[in-house]
Structure 1
Amino acid sequence: MCRELDLSVSAYYARRPRPRSARSVRDEVLLERIRAVHEDSGETYGVRRVHRQLRREGIHTARCTVERLMREDGVEGVIRSRRRRTTVPEPAAPRPPDLVNRSFTAHRPNQLWVADLTYVRTWAGWVYVAFVLDAHSRMIVGWQPATHTRNRSAPGRAGNGPVAAGHQEGLRPDPSQRQGKPICVNSLH
């Protein structure tokens, strides 16, 4: 028949319908389970987590198989963005003087206060928080949140609470002498 139609024998067998291979049958069953695990995770799981969950469920398959099936089906996990460096120090910028010579220990309360500024990513964007801590007790003396860093005196403003409350020299009183006065006025700008 191939000679009459001027076809090669290999072309005939290539076009002839074949029974499905065991691998394709197994892949189809596995892909259904991969989709279910991915959907159960809120479509956040990637290859590693889907593979781990399948192993927990007793489905032992190679990770590269899970990767291949997810890639072929277009199933992807949530990809974390790279951490961005938000502060790039200027080498020529003047540095504030180190008044404590890197010795952050104190022998009594209110002897040394230290300030720090941190930032937290929220659904609404970045929130910056300046803290002033007592080096002796490690307690927060004052804090000031903001949605921007335009005000360079944020740590200083965080420590203004005790001064605004009427304490001498900006020192926080001993907890037994506080008398309910505010430590810091906190507000988001």
Structure 2
Amino acid sequence: MAAKISYTSDFKENAVQLSYDRKNVNDASRELDISPKLLSKWRTVYRKFENGSFPGRGRKRVYYEDRRIFELEKELLQSQLKLEILKKGINFIGQGKHALYNYIHENKHLYPIGMMCEVLGASTSTYNLWTQKPVSKSEARVSLLKESITSVFYEFKQHYGAVRITRELHKQGFSISEGQVSFYMNQLGLRSKFKKKRKVTTDSKHNLYTSPNMLNRQFKTDKPSKIWVSDITYIQIEKRFLYLTVIIDLYDRKVVGWNIGSALSSKTTTLPAWKMAIQNRKVKDGLIFHSDRGVQYANKLFTTTLDASKCVRSMSRKGDSLDNAVSESFFNSLKRELIYIQPRLLTPGEIRIEINDYIENWYNKKRRHAALNYRSIEEFNAEE
């Protein structure tokens, strides 16, 4: 008995195409040395399934369009899976071999190991060796440090640089230098947000009395409510601006008073900020209140308010922003850490919520201040 001949899928499809080029099935079958009956059978199948006619042994015939849709859906599912792997694992790519392979190992029940290695640029064979080889104490320590640095960086909304992250790690019990943190941050690709220039809002072109610079850039004091500094900045929102006024106590750098107004009058800037400040912290006789020469600070309504509390008025020299450097620094931080990172211009309601959260929950409580030896305001006051 002659052995049954097995034809490949490509041969069958090419045979059908050849049969359409010849005069009839018999001519094509003689040329291919197959039976006309078999070729006719292939043609019948091809008319029904076209390119899906000959899928191979053990595979079900499907209409070509159905198979293509299936393949596209499969490709889409794989792409979505790869994107999911990348989003979850991207932070581990720069953290070293141990951190990356540990992430792959912990997620092997969720994703194929080969796919994770491909997406994250890891070697499958090296991963297999890693699972068999114990991690050294040195590698484990470096991996832990990198994971902790990354955790602190994102916990504090990408605002912290190496110095503040180092102080936070010291608080958590790590022994590490600023240089090491900076080195690992570079490896991990962690960069704190950049700052932009701010627009000047001071209107000093007036004939009102301006006080001398009593502060004279002495930005440290030994007691609360001894020196307060204040300034105003603009915040751009949808179609217009709002104006943020702050009052800061130089003792602990706490924002004791603030207000957001829609205009630059004293009633919408300095007066409500002052009202909040005296509610939050008791005013002492002789308190130095320092500001720029803006009309909001120099007008009679506000100066009378300060005089009633027996404050000593102090103003920066004309055009010298360094005379009020602490307020300037606060606004730089606020815009760098909050305003400039917004994906769009916020509404008035949204910006009020964001600024309230930034000042009351972040700046006054958690943020580490260089002037306080990188302690938070709460830590500083608890230790004094």
**Structure 2-normalised TM-score?**
0.22
Bigger radius of gyration: 2
**Structure 1-normalised TM-score?**
0.40
Flag the structure with higher strand content: 1
